[in-house]
Amino acid sequence: MPHEIQVKSILNKTKRRDPWFLDDYTLNPYSGCSFNCLYCYIRGSKYGIHMEEKLSVKVNAPELLEKVLTLRSKKGQHGIIVLSSSTDPYLQIEKDYLLTRQLLELILKYRFPVHIITKSDLVIRDFDLLREIDKQAILPPDLQGKLAHKVFITFSFSTLDDKIGKLFEPGATPPSQRLLTLRRVLQEGFHSGVSLMPLLPYISDTQEVLDKMFEVFKQAGAHYIFPASITLFGYGPADSKTLVFEAVRKYDPSLLEKYKVLFAGGSQVPYNYSKELERRTTLLSEKYGLKNRLY
């Protein structure tokens, strides 16, 4: 059972917009995560230990958000709110708590644009609110004229293979179902695309697999793709490096030594590896006519 907690703040003002997600603010209705993705960047920190067991519901989030959005809107400080930056806004418990939906109602009321980042198909439930936000929200001045939309829905993938997904992200909506939801979102006219973060070295970042993924997402109608490699932290039993290495061993033992070499220098893949991946994904973006930014 999730813990119900009271928090002191709910909306985080970012110091600088991420070039991919354009976050002026971040908003996390929940802490911890039942999707249990082994590669999650939160693992390897004090927040990542037993993520699924420490799942918490910020029950006073709507009250806090209304107060802060009232002040921000009066000051004309409208900006893109990212839901969510450290967990998924559409975890299974959202079906019962409706916390994300309550927050979206307030975002609509105060006319803030929103960027949904999710692995879930539950986002379909909130199409009514998202359509109205897309019509009524106010973009920050420096993005007016650059963006034609006020709602962005980005689906996170590390693979299109359900078996691989079950191994590396065991609690998440299967990739095949996620893809169907992406298609549905696009058919409904939303501005939507894909975050390929993280790609799994030697598994989903090979040229053959990448080409297939770009082709599939292009056929689905995606407007953009954000590809990036993986970062793995820590050597503790609940840390992402330990968990991913064990999953790699189960998937293909012959790849484990490659992973050990790849991450011998720390949590990041080597610079040359990262730059080569960037080069290949940039060429694929050009090949399939897919943007690698929102604008």
Q: With 80 as the cut, is the pLDDT of residue 238 above it?
A: yes
User: Closest by alpha carbon to 291, among 197, 198, 202, 225?
Assistant: 225
CA distance 204 to 128: 35
User: Contact at 8 Å (CB) between 162 and 168?
Assistant: no
Percent of the chain with pLDDT over 70: 96
Residue 55 · residue 32 · CB < 8 Å: yes
pLDDT band at 234 (very low <50, low <70, confident <90, very high): confident
Q: Residue 33 falls within a domain, yes or no?
A: yes
Counted residue by residue, the chain has a size of: 295
Q: Is the pLDDT at 48 greater than 90, yes or no?
A: no
More confident residue, 51 or 107: 107
Torsion of CA 71, 76, 80, 82, to 10 degrees: -10
Token digits of residue 145: 């004229």
295 domain residue, yes or no: no
Q: What is the pLDDT of residue 263?
A: 95
Is 294 a member of any domain?
no
Model confidence band, residue 256 (pLDDT cutoffs 50, 70, 90)? very high
Which position has the higher pLDDT, 42 or 147?
147
Q: Would 261 be classed as within a structural domain?
A: yes
pLDDT tens digits, one per residue of 137-148 = 999 999 999 999
Instruction: Tell me the C-alpha distance between 141 and 222, whole Å.
Output: 26
Residue 55 inside a domain? The answer is yes
- In three-state secondary structure terms, 3 is strand
In a domain, 293, yes or no: no
> What is the total count of domains within the chain?
1
Q: Where would I find the beta strands (DSSP E) of 53-190?
A: 56-58, 81-83, 114-118, 151-156
Over the stretch 77-131, which tens digit does the pLDDT of each residue have? 999 999 988 899 999 999 999 999 999 999 999 999 999 999 999 999 999 999 9
CATH number for the domain spanning 58: value is 3.20.20.70
Dig out the tokens for 41 from the structure: 């960047």
Give the domain range for residue 87. 3-288
Q: What is the pLDDT of residue 235?
A: 86
Q: Which long-range contacts (CB under 8 A, 24 or more apart) does 240-243 make?
A: 240/38, 240/39, 240/40, 240/41, 240/43, 240/44, 240/48, 241/44, 241/267, 243/38, 243/39, 243/43
Identify the pLDDT of residue 236.
87
pTM of the model: 0.95
More confident call, 48 vs 5: 5
In a domain, 200, yes or no: yes
Distance CA 263, CA 240 (A): 12
